[in-house]
Chains A and B, each alone.
Chain A
Amino acid sequence: MQQLLNGLFIGSIYALFAIGFTLVFGILDRLNLAHPAVFAASAFVGIELVERAGLSIWLAIPLVLVFGGIVGLVVERVAFRPLKGRPDAHFAGLISSIALAGMVIALLQWRYGPDTRRFPAGSFPDTRLQIAGAQVTVVQVVILVVSIGLMVGLTLLVTRSRLGRGMRAIAENPNAARVLGVDVDRVTATTFAISSALGAVAGVLFAMNVNSAQLGMGTAIELKGLAVIIVGGMGSLPGALVGGLVLGLAEVFAVQYIGSSWRDLIAFGLLFAILLLRPQGLFGARKVRQV
């Protein structure tokens, strides 16, 4: 039971991170590799807000969400928009977002130094809950609730709202969407903002979960995020959710039943096996490449 919950907590963070990743990919067909840097930056910003401004961590989460959104706008403006007219815009955007990620990490190092940073002692309520014999902290419950809440909210936004319709129209065909009166630039920018906001919240939640933020934390989760969105089906939101949870649980149960040294091998092997069985991913639609 404890292990199941451990898997759910870490899996929900993977999912939240991957959903931001896959949103941009699914709608705009762009891979934003500045996403892991936003993840790391927001963890540091979250800690700064609690430490310097003395805010409670509960208030820090929505502020980090806003911070992430703003960074998302910057990423789109700097790394993607200037290149969108190029014939190799996919690849160029990929590279320029890596460059931007490097700059963000360099800025973080300049501002915060190389050390691991932590929330000041006493920022978390140390109440422990007993759930079916498992020890759970309030923070972990909050992580799960916030992650699931944001993912549900995003799904509603994409399926129900006017903005969501715009996003889906662009995903289908950007030119047609423009002809039909969708403000493509605005929707694109908003998509980046939402994506980064989710990545940012994932970052601060991750930092809360393990009470530490490191410069390399984005790189560590980047590969997992990519694995999750590929397994879930590129661009599929429910796929990223399920993929994240599957990866979290796979890691936990690999440790429990096979051995801690085999964790990554088992977890990634499992993902690989899924891909062999369903090359399009769990929730991906089989696409015929247009020539």
Chain B
Amino acid sequence: MRTKLTTCAVAAATALALTACGSDEGGEAEGDGSNAQTGEGTGEDCVIEGDVAVGAALSLTGAAASYGESQQRGLELAAAHLAESDGVTYDLTIEDDQTDPRQGITVFEQFVNADVSVIIGPTLSNGAFQAQPIAQEAGVPVLAISNTAGGITEQGDYIFRDSLTEQQVIPQTIAQATETYGLERVIVMYSNDDAFTESGYEVFAASLEEEGIEVIETLTFAKADTDFRTLLTEARDAEPDAIVVSALIEAAIPLVTQARELGIDVPIIGGNGFNNPQLMADAGDAAEGVVVGAAWNSSSDNPENTAFLEAYEAEFDAPPDQFAAQAYTGLMLIDQAVRANCSADHDAIQEALGGLQDVPTVLGELSINEDRDAEHTAVVQVVEDGAFAVLE
């Protein structure tokens, strides 16, 4: 079915005519959101007739809903900004994958069948490994905006991402924390039923070894767990210099709260999942002393970032998090790529995304490297007085 539709789309593209493809989808026959669109001019002067269709698969419900919501806001804000500039207009469709990889597959299939120009998502690496191969197979470019696990872009040459991997951020985090706190012995905790937290754990373990830090014990839990007292009691009794945790925010909040309740006052070093203002909002004082590496420096004063902060606050009456920033950046990068070749064609976008160099973004100057991963500087933060401050 998929192959047939793609063939059909290619046929339509070559013929540049409204041929009846005998397909019940009707999408490309009517020409809206077709990848056959190619416009006039380049860059800012590029003009493309009709809307460029962008599909986003986000986790709006389920365990990762809090990330998905931020991403949705980031994308909507970006879409609103892009709508202000002339020439290219975007038709952004956001679908919920319910934090369920199977649902993610369904959503990706929908997007491929509807022949969108580019797909964003899904939210979790877990779902990404299941869903992204569908787009790869169909030759539809994908931009991952939050997957940080290793191996995402190795799935194929149509898969890109703008989120720094744990491999890029965590070594910097551990190195900085070791320097600041003089770490020697730590406890490591992670949820072992999730691709994202598991890959985060592996990088933590490697970085700790690199720095010559002793791991007293490694404790595992499930991503849906909320009671960590048993594990934390184990951790406390080992008297570590710090606790290193790879977990999603849903687990991070009760974990941090309960750790402080049990009298653990050493730094808690978290992976990307901890990088969320919700941590301070919900864990309150318990969040003090949490160290987390991040791809996005919320206090950066580059002009893109200050404008983004201002617009986001005005629109949603809340500060954005990294997920919102990366989502926002994602759609902006897509706009760059579409305008670069002035085409909404799959292969044109793929080529242009791979060629992005030193693009000024909310995340800083961003380039896509030959592995189709983003490269830009990371920041190590610590929670102080209820806010992230740069750890020095």
Residues of A within 8 A of B (CB): 2-3, 6-7, 9-10, 109, 113-116, 118, 121-122, 128, 135, 137, 209-212, 214, 216-217, 220, 251-252, 255-256, 260-261, 264
> Would you call B234 and A135 a contact (CB within 8 A)?
no
Residue of B nearest to A117 (CB): B282
Given contacts A114-B65, A128-B261, contact A3 B250 (CB under 8 A): no
Instruction: Give A212 to B283 CA distance when docked, in angstroms.
Output: 11
> Would you call B233 and A214 a contact (CB within 8 A)?
no
The 6 closest A-B pairs by CB, nearest first: A114-B65, A210-B226, A114-B61, A260-B219, A121-B284, A6-B229
B138 to chain A, nearest CB (A): 30
Inter-chain CB contacts under 8 Å: number: 72
**17 A/B residue pairs, CB under 8 Å, sorted by A:** A3-B230, A7-B230, A113-B65, A114-B60, A115-B65, A115-B69, A118-B282, A121-B282, A122-B284, A210-B227, A212-B254, A256-B233, A260-B220, A260-B221, A260-B231, A261-B192, A261-B220
Q: Chain B interface residue count: which class? A: 20 to 34
Given contacts A115-B65, A251-B230, contact A216 B224 (CB under 8 A): yes
> Would you call B62 and A135 a contact (CB within 8 A)?
no
> Would you call B230 and A6 a contact (CB within 8 A)?
yes
Give per-residue flags for B43-75: 1 if the beta carbon is below 8 A from chain A beta carbons, else 0. 000000000000000001111011001000000
A3 contact set on B, CB distance < 8 A: 230, 233
Residue of B nearest to A209 (CB): B227
A245 to chain B, nearest CB (A): 15
Given contacts A137-B261, A212-B253, A216-B224, contact A256 B230 (CB under 8 A): yes
Residue of A nearest to B219 (CB): A260
> Which of B224, B231, B237, B258 meets A220, CB within 8 Å?
B224
Tell me which of A7, A109, A115, A210 has the highest count of chain B C-beta atoms within 10 A of its own C-beta. A210
Residue of A nearest to B282 (CB): A118
B363 to chain A, nearest CB (A): 25
B69 contact set on A, CB distance < 8 A: 115
Tell me whether B262 is interfacial, beta carbon within 8 Å.
yes
CB proximity to A under 8 Å, residues B207-240: 219-222, 224, 226-227, 229-231, 233-234, 236-237
CB proximity to A under 8 Å, residues B253-268: 253-254, 257-258, 261-263
| Overall SS of chain A's interface | helix
Residue of B nearest to A9 (CB): B229
B203 to chain A, nearest CB (A): 19
**Extra contacts besides A2-B262, A216-B63 (20): CB < 8 Å:** A3-B230, A10-B227, A10-B229, A114-B60, A114-B61, A114-B62, A122-B284, A135-B262, A210-B227, A210-B254, A210-B258, A211-B253, A211-B254, A212-B254, A214-B250, A216-B224, A255-B230, A255-B234, A256-B230, A260-B219
B219 contact set on A, CB distance < 8 A: 255, 260
Instruction: Give A251 to B225 CA distance when docked, in angstroms.
Output: 13
Given contacts A6-B229, A255-B231, A256-B230, contact A211 B257 (CB under 8 A): yes
B145 to chain A, nearest CB (A): 19
A256 contact set on B, CB distance < 8 A: 230, 233-234
Residue of B nearest to A251 (CB): B230
Instruction: Give A122 to B257 CA distance when docked, in angstroms.
Output: 13
Instruction: Give A118 to B233 CA distance when docked, in angstroms.
Output: 23
> Which of A7, A109, A210, A255 meets B61, CB within 8 Å?
A109
Instruction: Give A118 to B284 CA distance when docked, in angstroms.
Output: 12
B229 contact set on A, CB distance < 8 A: 6, 9-10
B293 to chain A, nearest CB (A): 23
A23 to chain B, nearest CB (A): 25
Give per-residue flags for B19-62: 1 if the beta carbon is below 8 A from chain A beta carbons, else 0. 00000000000000000000000000000000000000000111
> Would you call B226 and A214 a contact (CB within 8 A)?
yes
> Which of A9, A115, A137, A261 meets B66, CB within 8 Å?
A115
B62 contact set on A, CB distance < 8 A: 114
Instruction: Give A217 to B262 CA distance when docked, in angstroms.
Output: 23
B61 contact set on A, CB distance < 8 A: 109, 114
A113 contact set on B, CB distance < 8 A: 65
Given contacts A212-B253, A260-B220, contact A252 B230 (CB under 8 A): yes
Residue of A nearest to B261 (CB): A137
A261 contact set on B, CB distance < 8 A: 192, 220
Residue of B nearest to A254 (CB): B230
Residue of A nearest to B257 (CB): A211
Given contacts A6-B233, A135-B262, A256-B230, contact A118 B224 (CB under 8 A): no
A255 to chain B, nearest CB (A): 5
B259 to chain A, nearest CB (A): 11
B230 contact set on A, CB distance < 8 A: 3, 6-7, 251-252, 255-256
CB proximity to A under 8 Å, residues B155-204: 192
Instruction: Give A253 to B192 CA distance when docked, in angstroms.
Output: 19
Residue of A nearest to B237 (CB): A2
A122 contact set on B, CB distance < 8 A: 284
A9 contact set on B, CB distance < 8 A: 229
> Would you call A135 and B263 a contact (CB within 8 A)?
yes
Instruction: Give A42 to B231 CA distance when docked, in angstroms.
Output: 27
B263 contact set on A, CB distance < 8 A: 128, 135
> Would you call A116 and B250 a contact (CB within 8 A)?
yes
Instruction: Give A201 to B219 CA distance when docked, in angstroms.
Output: 31
B281 to chain A, nearest CB (A): 8
Instruction: Give A52 to B156 CA distance when docked, in angstroms.
Output: 50
A216 contact set on B, CB distance < 8 A: 63, 224
